[in-house]
Amino acid sequence: MTAGEDRASRTEDTRRRTEDGRQRNVEGAFPSSVRRCRSSGFLPLWAGLMILGLAVVVVVLLGLLGISILERRWETQRPPVVVRPLQQWEPNNAVWGEDYPREYESYLRTRITDTRTKYGGSYPRDYLDIDPQEVILFAGYGFSKDYLQARGHYFAVQDVTKTARLIRPFNAATCWTCKSTDVPRLMDQMGVKEFYAANFHDLTKEVTHPIGCQDCHDPQTLKLRITRPALQEAFVAMGRNINEATHQEMRSLVCAQCHVEYYFRTDAKAGLKNYLVFPWAKGTALEEILAYYDALEYSDYVHAISGTPIVKMQHPDYELYLTGIHSYRNVSCADCHMPYRTEGGVKYTDHHVQSPLLNIANSCAVCHRWGEDEIRTRVEGIQTKVETARLAAEEALVRAHFDLAATLQAGASAQDLTEARRLVRRGQIRWDFIASNNGMGFHSPQESMRLLGEAANLAQQARVEAARLLAKRGITDPPKYPDISTRQKASEVAQAFVAGQGTKLLP
């Protein structure tokens, strides 16, 4: 049942219940003889009409109440109760927790690390072990060495410190931006530009508190607020003002401070080093993001096998969500990931941000009257289809990288490969837009399938182009593709290319 039908049927239920109730009251109040009397004209017409009128008003009011509960208008317009104003940049979640124990205790549950769902949950899943094709797609870049699934917010500082040790050089303080409540304080002290330009390792002692209260709330009023300048600036670049966002939009925008695509801008003339920018000036759709990067001739790395300049996507969760049905119907990130909970008669927002599949009853089932198993099956059904399309796109892209390398081994020049590399760049960014997204496409199934389909198509076009270049040189057999069936084998192949000693691919 869709939520629309759901709402209609609930209104219908309410109406039916109301009428049953009225009937019961009537039956309880009058003995059957009186009822017979009344039905034969005991009450004057005006009284009957008045009762009817009242009944209509009651039914309409109950209907409206039902709708407003469904849309959670009451909850979302409820101002938070401020116990006492906190210090402006208070980074310590435990201090906030003294006044808001329920929110704090539920927040602390983001420490749980042993939950798993088919494609998500909170345990250290290593994407490269599961899918060695990604080692090839990121050849020449850090992600080909280490790519772990995200964990709860509580671990953000710990996990980025570990990654920093693994992937060197990793010196931009900018990497702290989405990890800690100490960031707004440091930006205020140091200046935003100066914060970004600092060395990551120099701030290790300053940045200790993981993502928390300060990141999303005003310490004086507890209202939701945006603390990260990159999001404010991205709105300005789009000609919008984030201060005009509705309360319901804020319930997603607090997440969009971090769960987005971004890059570090360095521009000596403008005095910027590693300045955090969301590439939204032309819009948030993939095509608009790519047009933005193309105009800057931006790339994160040159692919070690095909020589293609690649833009690595980070995790454009918010951008993909914007293209989906829930965003269209004004359902926010918090509606699914921070649903309401009741404890001892007190209703509060569950701050255990996690996979909603671990909490279906409080998240999805509030709006969808499908059974829990059915909800899980529907989500997994969507995700499995997206995964299939994703693996197909990967296979085509991996082949494309090798095909381009084969043409180089056959003596093709960089000039010859311009068009083929352009196709691979456009294909890989589409694949990565979905692959790097959390939720395996659930946030927008149609957009996910569209982009993965285009990714495969662009990769195949690049392969046709490569085949043409090989044929020109008298080679008509397909290249010999190396074995990349395990992470180990794929890493050896990638590293050989990085070292300039790639496997011989020509037949």
Site for ligand HEC in 255-274 (CB under 6 A): 255, 257-259
Smallest gap from Cβ 277 to ligand HEC, in A, equals 16
The interface with ligand HEC within residues 278-317 (CB under 6 A) comprises: 317
251 binds ligand HEC (CB under 6 A): yes
The interface with ligand HEC within residues 131-170 (CB under 6 A) comprises: 150-153, 155-156, 159
C-beta of 11 vs 306, nearer to ligand HEC: 11
Asked whether 156 and 186 are in contact (CB, 8 A), the reply is no
C-beta of 316 vs 427, nearer to ligand HEC: 316
Distance CA 178, CA 232 (A): 14
Q: For 349, left (φ over 0), alpha (ψ -120 to 50), or beta? A: beta
Contact with ligand HEC (CB under 6 A) among 128, 277, 286, 353: 353
Query: What are the contacts of 71-77 at 24+ separation with CB within 8 A?
Result: 72/335, 72/340, 75/340, 75/347, 76/247, 76/248, 76/251, 77/247
Distance CA 144, CA 149 (A): 14
459 binds ligand HEC (CB under 6 A): no
- Encoding tokens for residue 163? 């990654």
Distance CA 173, CA 183 (A): 10
C-beta of 100 vs 433, nearer to ligand HEC: 100
Contact with ligand HEC (CB under 6 A) among 136, 375, 410, 452: 375
Of the chain, the end-to-end C-alpha distance in Å amounts to: 56
Smallest gap from Cβ 240 to ligand HEC, in A, equals 17
Q: Tell me the window of 364-372, 398-406, 421-429, 475-483 that interacts with ligand HEC (CB under 6 A).
A: 364-372
Distance CA 54, CA 35 (A): 20
Residue 297: count other Cβ atoms within 10 Å of its Cβ.
7
Q: Is the peptide bond before 169 cis (omega within 30 degrees of 0)?
A: yes
Smallest gap from Cβ 42 to ligand HEC, in A, equals 47
3 binds ligand HEC (CB under 6 A): yes
Asked whether 350 and 338 are in contact (CB, 8 A), the reply is yes
Asked whether 257 and 157 are in contact (CB, 8 A), the reply is no
C-beta of 104 vs 263, nearer to ligand HEC: 104
The interface with ligand HEC within residues 50-79 (CB under 6 A) comprises: 76
390 binds ligand HEC (CB under 6 A): no
User: CA 316: distance to chain centroid?
Assistant: 6
The interface with ligand HEC within residues 168-227 (CB under 6 A) comprises: 178-179, 211-213, 215-217, 222, 224
C-beta of 121 vs 482, nearer to ligand HEC: 121
241 binds ligand HEC (CB under 6 A): no
Distance CA 199, CA 187 (A): 14
Smallest gap from Cβ 166 to ligand HEC, in A, equals 14
CB within 8 A of 264, min separation 6: which ones? Answer: 172, 174, 196, 274, 275, 276, 277
Distance CA 333, CA 441 (A): 15
Distance CA 45, CA 42 (A): 9
Contact with ligand HEC (CB under 6 A) among 366, 391, 475, 496: 366
Q: Tell me the window of 1-9, 12-20, 138-146, 230-238 that interacts with ligand HEC (CB under 6 A).
A: 1-9
276 binds ligand HEC (CB under 6 A): no
Distance CA 276, CA 177 (A): 8
Smallest gap from Cβ 406 to ligand HEC, in A, equals 37
Distance CA 311, CA 303 (A): 10
User: Mask: binding to ligand HEC, 88-127, rule CB under 6 A, as x and -?
Assistant: -----x--xx--x--xx--x---------x-xxxx-----
The interface with ligand HEC within residues 313-352 (CB under 6 A) comprises: 317-318, 321, 325-326, 329, 331, 333-338, 348-349, 351
Q: How many residues bind ligand HEC (CB under 6 A)?
A: 75
Smallest gap from Cβ 225 to ligand HEC, in A, equals 10
Q: What is the CA radius of gyration of the chain?
A: 28
2 binds ligand HEC (CB under 6 A): yes
Asked whether 132 and 251 are in contact (CB, 8 A), the reply is no
- Encoding tokens for residue 314? 């980070």
